[in-house]
Amino acid sequence: GDVVSVELNSNATPCLVGSLVVSNGVKMAVNPNLTPSITIIASENNVCANTEVTFTATPVNGGTTPIYQWKVNDVNAGTNSSTFAYNPVNGDVVKVELNSNATPCLVGSLVASNGVTMAVNPNLTPSVAIAASENNVCANTEVTFTATPTNGGTTPVYQWKVNDVNAGTNSSTFAYNPINGDVVKVELNSNATPCLVGSLVASNGVTMAVNPNLTPSVAIVASENNVCNGSTVTFNATSTNEGTKPIYQWYKNNLPVGSGTTIYEVIPINGDEISVTLASNATPCLMGSPVASNTVIMLVNPLKDASASIDVSANPINSNIPVTFTATAIDCGTAPSYKWYKNQILVGDDSNSYTYLPNNNDNVSVEITPDPTSYCFAVNPVASSSIRMVVSINTKLNNFNDSNISIYSSDKNIYVACPQKLKQIYIVTTLGTAIKLESNVSGLKKFDLSNYPNAYYFVKIVTDNNVYTQKVLLK
């Protein structure tokens, strides 16, 4: 809008007509200088990681077709657009350069925007780990579990679980007495800010190894009790939870004895008290060592002096006449056993008497074994003195063939037939042992020998006047 003119004061000669003149005025059209500028703003700042942020450019004097060059940390990015979107990382500086085509009077076409520094918070993924104060523990041991949270926030909430069943309280620690195989874990509900990703998480599971408490014990038994004086008794210890190197200490009447093994031998006296202690090295979880066994009180019986004697029904005696020996057991108990000997050869047992046909100079004795359930005996078995038989030849013995008596064998039986009355009939082995005896017999008499072997036997028949002998084969 300025008008520009000029005045002329001329000194032209000659004939100057008006020396001072004014020119025409020129009115000026002056355009303002166009200085471009640009600013940018972010759709959000102080964001979480992996969040897309849109940046918008606002140009001044950008012209009709401005050109944009976005930059992240001075490195070209984006496209020729007034907006730019991407996922920033913390500390990124975003700006844009504007190349303006504004007209007229553009002053500096290329300008840069302000820089926006991004605050990007990491995503907070909560987690929790637990640890036991100890594992591989003994039964009835209290174990404390401690939770260590990551991104738990200021007021995390804990839910403890044992075998997936809720337990404990809202605390970072949990104490209880586990049993073997229990699985302990905790759930964490986090309130961490900002950028919390998944608030509820579960910890690792801790599987508990709980060993049973090993309580040692020991018991002893005697090989026998209620024994005889002078008997050796063996004691055996049976233990549980004794470990690999147990130590045994035997005691007799509360005084240490023995060799430190599970076996102890002693010749006790009546009233002795025997016991043992066990020091166990069982692992793990040994409870109460050493321990004492039961106490065995010994019953020891004094020794009795048993003896044996024998009597014979007749001595001296005529030949072919049986005699009976009778044994007397003195202090041998209620049920002694007997063994008869003739000339030191065993000829009979299990009876306190022995009957046979003696020969001259036979020596007969008995051996008695006292009843072991009755008493204790100083000598066992005991033997009687022997009796020597004196046998005279019977001149009145008639020949069997002269009598009217008949004898025969059939079906393991021996039969004796006689019309008159017989005083006695003996069935005698070839060793002289009488195995059958009948008195006052007449008619037909059967002797059952089914329990005896087929062999020769003597039939001795005694009448009022004679003695008859017949050898018969049992069949």
- Give the span between the Cα atoms of 274 and 256, in whole angstroms: 10
pLDDT at 246 over 90: yes
DSSP 82: S
Interval 326-350: pLDDT, tens: 999 998 888 999 999 999 999 988 8
> How confident is the model at residue 137, as a pLDDT?
97
pLDDT at 404 over 60: yes
- Give the DSSP H/E element, type plus range, for residue 422: strand 413-428
124-128, 167-171, 438-442: least confidently modelled range: 438-442
- Model confidence band, residue 112 (pLDDT cutoffs 50, 70, 90): very high
- Give the span between the Cα atoms of 81 and 163, in whole angstroms: 59
Interval 174-231: pLDDT, tens: 999 999 999 999 999 999 999 999 999 999 999 999 999 999 999 999 999 999 899 9
Share of the chain above pLDDT 90, in %: 71
**What is the pTM for the complete model shown?**
0.58
- Give the span between the Cα atoms of 138 and 259, in whole angstroms: 33
Residues with Cβ within 8 Å of residue 440, at least 6 apart in sequence: 421, 422, 423
